[in-house]
Structure formats: structure tokens, C-alpha cells
Amino acid sequence: MKRFWIMAGAMAAVLALAQAAGAQMSQGMARTVVAARGYVSLEPVPRGRTFEVAVIARIKPLFHINAHKVLDEFLIPTEVNAKTPAGFRITSTEYPAGELKQFSFSPKKLAVYTGQMIVKMKVEAGRNAPLGARELPLSLRYQACNNTYCLSPVTVPLSVHLTVARAGSAAKAVHPEIFHR
Amino acid sequence: MRSRKSRWLTFALALSLTWIAVGCDHGISTGSTTDSGGPAGLAPEPSVSFQNLDGQTVNLAEYRGKVVLVNFWATWCEPCKAEIPELIQFQKEYGNKGFTVLGVAMDQEGKSVVAPFVAKPQFDVDGQKVSMDYPIVLGTQQTATKFGGIIGLPTSYVISKNGKVVQKVIGMIDPQGINQLIRKLLS
């Protein structure tokens, strides 16, 4: 009998802790809805060359995130941003068009992304870009919903790694399945 | 020497009693027990205060004696906006009978985004465009924690006159079901 009450007490403590942790679940859950990864189009990247960076976001089934061009001023658009280190410059960012979808909770269609979406950026490595291994920090901001409820907007950090070589160096195109579609 | 079977039975019994004791209430609540004010009771409302759009502190306990529908929402939440006309209707019908909606806005930007949204006549109620006419306060992660954590928006809690949480709904409310519950709690 003593063992029973010790076991019950221990379980109560564990469940109480789990319930407290549940308070943070909304943002935590929002982060699990999208898996994002970055890719670079050239290896290495010679100084003075323009290359591409792609962010591929895979969205969990039954969830959607708003498109970059939203149809309502209060909706949170999906956005990719880069903290370009010295010697690099983003020259353009291309977002896919959203899919117009009707949901049970809204009389109007919403522009959303489901499944997988790819954002591509053109990046210029300047003539004085630091040589060697470099990291380009990125962030993906999104707000996800399913047919029942919406999760908090979140900003998820990610990064791509590249190698900067001297101007005129040979460079190999990589990830053709992403960049040469 | 205790048998393996009796050990498993002890474990299962301990787990069941602990689950009941801690009162886990995650998940969509439908057909929850209505508070009759009896000794069995339901979860008491949390002790929580908010800032309203005028910067004043509002304690949930100030609404004791009223039936309160606490509705967690945000300006970026489409299903939240879809149910606002229903909430406006409830306020209109029962607001002078001891009921109120309390809208808790979870926008991270706070008043700068929420105030103009609330003031804008944009919701179709009885053929007219109206604004949100029930009390609105600003919510934070701390206030969400006090309610046991909010998985998603909208999430609503119906609180009885004596401060007991009688129903929790994750997602849009069922207007007919909530209407019946409000009537019962007011009677």
C-alpha cells in the first residue's frame, strides 16, 4: 500500500510539471508545423559572383501558412529574411504564389501555402567578401492554422553554409533539382 | 512475493487516480459538465489580471456574480474573427442579464494593433456593420499559462457566476450549445 501512494505521488509531480510545460506548447507546437532548410546553388562561391539561396519549407498535413501576399491587412505573411554578413548583398527574393483556398471558418478564400513551398533569393558575393567558410543566417516567419484553430506566429532561425573562393575560381552548380527547375 | 499482475494493477490504479487528481483538461471540450454550484464543483477560475485598452488593470475576479465567456483571440486569426459576430450577439442579448464576453487579445503588438481593429465597424450583425462592443483586454503568455496553457486560437472558457470554469472550447464555439449553456447558467 505504501508503494502505491509513493507511486501516485511521483506521478502527480510528473503530470503537474507536464501541465506547466504545456503553457509553452502553443509556440512550441507552432515551430513543429513547418520544417525548413536552406540550400546554396554554387560550391564554392567565387568573389564577384551572384548565386542563389533557397529556403524549402515543408508544412505538416492539415496545416497551412499564409502566403507572402496576404489578402487581409491583419494576416501575418510568410517571410524569409537574411542577416547578410559583410561582403554579401541580397538582390532579390522570390516567393511562390499562394493557393486560394476556402476554409470552413471563413466565407472568403485565403491565399495560403500547403505541403511544400520554396523561397529563392539571389545573393551577390562582393569582390571583397571574406574568403573561406561562411554562414549566412536566415529566418523564416510564418503563422499556421488548421481547420479548427490557429497557432502563434513564429520566427524560426536557419542558416546556409558556403565557401567563398577567389574571383574567377571554378564553381560547381549544386542542387540542380532545386535551382534549375 | 507480489505477483507481476498485482504490480501492474497497482500501477494502473495509481495512474488513473493521479490523472483524475491533477485534472488534465487538454483537448476540445464538448458536452462538459455544467456547474450546478454543488459541492462537487469544477475548476475554479484562475486568479488573473489583464490590461485593458485604456491601460487599466482588470481582474477576472471583478466579474464574479456574472456569467463570463472568456475568449482568447487575435487580429491575425481568421476563425477567431469568424465567431466574433456570434459573441457580439451574445453580448447584445445577455449583456444586461448578468453576462459578459471578455475578449483577450493575444496579438504580440498589443494595443497598437488591437485598438483600431476593435473600433472598426466590420462585423455583420443583424444586417449592420458593427464593431466589437464587449470588454477587450490584452493577453500575454503569462495569462495563457494561468488558464492552463492555450494550444491555439480561438479558445474560450465559460465561467459561472460563482467563478467556476464550466466549459473550455478549443476552436470556434458552437453558438447553439453555448447559447443554451449561457441561458442555463443565468437562470
Q: How far is A77 from chain B (nearest CA, A)?
A: 10
Q: Is A168 a domain residue?
A: yes
Does the CB of A12 have a partner CB in chain B at under 8 Å? yes
- A1/A7: higher pLDDT: A1
Q: What's the grid cell of residue B90?
A: 451574445
Q: What is the pLDDT of residue B34?
A: 32
Q: What percent of chain A has pLDDT over 70?
A: 86
Half-sphere exposure of A79 (CA within 13 A, CB side): 10
Counting the structural domains of chain A, the total is: 1
Q: B29-85: per-residue pLDDT in tens?
A: 333 333 333 333 478 888 999 999 999 999 999 999 999 999 999 999 999 999 999
Please list, in sequence order, all residues whose beta carbon lies within 8 angstroms of the beta carbon of residue A86, skipping any fewer than 6 positions away.
A129, A130
| Residue A43 scores a pLDDT above 60 | yes
Cβ-in-10-Å burial (0-12, 13-18, 19+) of B182 comes to buried
Residue A141: which CATH number? 2.60.40.1250
Q: Is A11 a domain residue?
A: no
Q: Do A74 and B22 touch (CB under 8 A)?
A: no
Q: In B, which residues are within 8 Å of A76 by CB distance?
A: 76
Q: What's the grid cell of residue A27?
A: 509556440
Q: B136-157: per-residue pLDDT in tens?
A: 999 998 999 999 889 999 999 9
Q: Is A165 a domain residue?
A: yes
Count A/B contacts: CB-CB distance under 8 Å.
Answer: 98
B164 DSSP 8-state letter: B
Does the CB of A15 have a partner CB in chain B at under 8 Å? yes
Cα A113 from Cα A34, distance rounded (Å): 11
Q: Do A106 and B79 touch (CB under 8 A)?
A: yes
| Residue B13 scores a pLDDT above 70 | no
Q: Do A19 and B10 touch (CB under 8 A)?
A: no
Which of A25, A74, A148 faces B149 most closely, judged by CB atoms?
A25
Q: Is A14 a domain residue?
A: no
Residue A115's CB is within 10 A of a number of other CB atoms, namely 12
Q: Is A175 a domain residue?
A: yes
Q: How confident is the model at residue A181 (pLDDT cuts 50, 70, 90)?
A: low
Q: What is the pLDDT of residue A4?
A: 65
Q: What is the pLDDT of residue B88?
A: 98
B171: phi > 0 → left, psi -120 to 50 → alpha, else beta; which?
left
Q: Write out the H or E segment, with its range, that includes residue B103.
A: strand B99-105
| Residue B26 scores a pLDDT above 60 | no
Q: Which domain holds residue A71?
A: 29-179
Which of B13, B21, B78 faces A106 most closely, judged by CB atoms?
B78
Under 8 Å between Cβ of A82 and A136:
yes
**Average pLDDT for residues A135-144, to the nearest whole number?**
97
Q: Is A21 a domain residue?
A: no
Q: What ipTM was reported for this prediction?
A: 0.81
Q: What is the pLDDT of residue B45?
A: 86
Q: What is the pLDDT of residue B8?
A: 65
Cα B110 from Cα B138, distance rounded (Å): 7
Domains and CATH numbers, chain B: 29-186 (3.40.30.10)
